[in-house]
Structure 1
Amino acid sequence: MRILIVFLLFPLAAFADESRLVEQFFGQDGLDNKREVYTGEMLEHYLDKPTLGEDLPKGINVSLRALEQSPRREIYAVLLTKEGISQDWYIYLVNDQNKWKISAVRNLALPSMFFMSLQAIQSKPNRTKEEENHYQNMLLTLQLDSELKEYLHKNIGSLNAIAFEAKTSQKKATESAKHLNLNLVGYDSSSGIVDVNVGGILDNSVGYLFVPPGTEVPQMSDEDYIYIEHVTGNWYVYKTT
């Protein structure tokens, strides 16, 4: 019985180690053993640099949730919050010879031109209908993961209709999507996946995926889909870089 209990507790203890590593990276004390717990680009480019947590102002609340947990890889979403302002980050860990190491850290990296455009349109006292739609689209693009999921729940009926319409006309589906302040709708006929792009610039984008039953969900990676999370039914929310 004692051996059984040890084996039952081992996975929980292992996951606790990984989450502690994430907490230390985002904590103000940082990591003392970077060379031992960094790999890939982190080891190559960030060994002599402070951790993200060391550069954060005091009083930041850090909360994390697991997006993927497997024997070889784990991905966590990390929410940083202070005084009502929050930001989502994503951290990737790999199992390197039975030791968990941080391989990459990402967030939605929008260029300064996006925020300059947002500030310019925000300062306009009287926006045209087109400007207002563009403004609302930019605001939606900047929403937190939790808010994007809430938006999908709120508009699930319309999004289901858009996904159905995309199979016959991506143009009409896009027109429908724009009424929800969304950007573009794409359809992959080989997989049946519908991509409802919320917004962003170039490869740095936010959106929703409708993934039909039996179709594999695209994998997360630090080079493409930096974040994918199931929301409801066949719908997922994503971010790319």
Structure 2
Amino acid sequence: MKKICLLVCLVSFGGTLCKAQTYTPLELCKRILSRDTLPYIKKYCAGDFEGHPNGSDFAPHLKVSFTVLKQTDKTAVINVTLSDSTGNSLDTYFHLAKDSIWKVNAFRALAMTGMLQQMYDELKKMTPAQIDKIIAEPLRKGKDHRIFKSRDEYQYLLNNTELTLASDDKIVAHFQKNKEAFEQLKADLLTSPSVGKRNFIQALGAKNALSDKLKALYLHNAELDGEQTTNTVILNIGGIVDNYVGYMYIKDSKDVPEMSGDHFIMIRSIGDGWYLYKTT
């Protein structure tokens, strides 16, 4: 009888171990990225997340920090920042949903940054002579293939690419440092008749006061109203294809888009109706 009772207890205990432990979204992300492998990790996976990355995928010297961007009863987005000893950082985002327990359904970061990093590295190591040589290049088959046409454009491209690749905290710091200029740009965009007709303006390719202000803030373009709401100003820093990073101003917080693994992979409030965003 004692043997039977012991066997029943062992089976029950084993069944309990196999059940998924209940974690909050933040606890789950920390547990997944801990150095100790999370048992039964597949129980916490959904969507296109299959258990990687996890703590075993990262070098031991990396510092990992967590920020809750948003959490409701059913969904959550956690910003995970990976930093090395040189101060370089990569911001990533866990998207979670809850049924009976919280599960990760997507892991995202700004995509296709490899080409931008290569471009930044090439621009940064250029000598003044190399810069001037590109500026002086003649047309080829009647077409202008120069990536910049002046030293000012070169410096703008360098600054813009650096900001595109920067950590979220550095992008926010750039905004805070230049907040007065951002507020003035917003006001100009919302009241400019020329912008109202086109809803879109680029930093390069145009010579006017608005494009000059975009360049001064290292922005690529500006868009009014976008796809989501009215009273919205979208200031795109940069990116490739659909993978963009930038700032947006939204007058009413109820109009802020929902985050997802399919479009706005992150939205972070930076105060007074302004937000940092990334898309995919």
Fold equivalence (TM over 0.5): yes
Q: Over residues 34-62 of structure 1, what are the superposed CA-to-partner deviations in whole Å (9 max), with x where a residue is unaligned? A: 221101112xxx25xx5332111112221
Query: What's the secondary structure of 1:150's corresponding residue?
Result: helix
Paired-residue identity, %:
27
Shift of 1:15: 9.5
Mean Cα displacement is larger for which, 111-120 or 220-229?
Answer: 111-120
Distance 1:207 1:136 in 2: 14
* Per-residue deviation, 1:124: 0.3
Q: How many residues end up aligned between the 2 structures?
A: 222
Which residue number corresponds to residue 34 of structure 1?
Answer: 41
Query: Structure 2, unaligned stretches of length 5 or more?
Result: 1-20, 132-150, 202-208
Q: Indicate yes or no: 2:161 matched with 1:138.
A: yes
Cα distance in 1, alignment partners of residues 127 and 114 from structure 2: 22
Q: Distance in 2 between matches of 1:221 and 1:173?
A: 32
1:105 to 107, 112, 116: 107
Letter in 2 for 1:145: D
Q: Deviation string for 1:109-131 (max 9, x for gaps)?
A: 12432222222211201242211
Aligned to 2:206: none
Alignment partners' CA distance in 2, 1:79 and 1:202: 24
Q: 1:34 to 1:191 in 2, by over 3 A?
A: same
Q: Distance in 2 between matches of 1:35 and 1:15?
A: 14
Report the structure number with the largest CA radius of gyration: 2
How far is the alpha carbon of 1:215 from its aligned partner? Answer: 5.3
C-alpha deviation, 1:173, in angstroms = 3.3
Q: Deviations over 1:26-85 (max 9, x none)?
A: 22323221221101112xxx25xx533211111222111111111101110111122022
CA distance in 1, matches of 2:267, 2:125: 33
Do residues 160 (structure 1) and 183 (structure 2) align?
yes
Q: 2:95 aligns with which of 92, 97, 110?
A: 92
Partner Cα distance (2:68, 2:213) in 1: 34
Q: Which aligned pairs between 1:108-127 and structure 2 lie closer than 5 A?
A: 108-126=110-128, 127=131
The 1:213–1:102 alpha-carbon spacing in structure 2 relative to 1, beyond 3 Å, is closer
1:233 corresponds in structure 2 to: 272
Cα RMSD for the two superposed structures: 2.1
C-alpha separation between the residues in 1 aligned to 2:215 and 2:274?
18
Cα separation, partners in 2 of 1:17 and 1:192, compared to 1, 3 Å: closer
Q: Do 2:80 and 2:94's aligned partners in 1 also have CA atoms closer than 8 Å? A: yes
Find the counterpart in structure 1 of residue 232 from structure 2. Answer: 193
Partners of 1:108 and 1:214 in 2: CA distance: 24
In structure 1, what is the Cα distance between the partners aligned to 2:245 and 2:98? Answer: 29
Matched letter for residue 189 of structure 2 = A
Could you tell me whether the CA contact under 8 Å between 2:160 and 2:218 is conserved in 1? yes
Q: Deviations over 1:179-215 (max 9, x none)?
A: 2111100001861200011111121111000101365
Residue of structure 2 equivalent to 1:10: none
Is 1:73 aligned with 2:80?
A: no
Distance across 2 between alignment mates of 1:227 and 1:179: 25
Asked if the contact 2:25/2:78 (under 8 Å) is kept, the reply is no
Contact 2:231–2:250 under 8 Å retained in 1: yes
Which of the numbers 195, 215, 218 marks the counterpart of 1:178? 215
Name the aligned partner's letter for residue 166 of structure 1: L
Show the 5 A alignment for 1:1-20.
17-20=24-27
Task: Assess, with a 3 A threshold, how the Cα gap between structure 1 residues 173 and 102 changes in structure 2: closer, same or farther.
Answer: same
Letter of the structure 1 residue corresponding to residue 96 of structure 2:
L
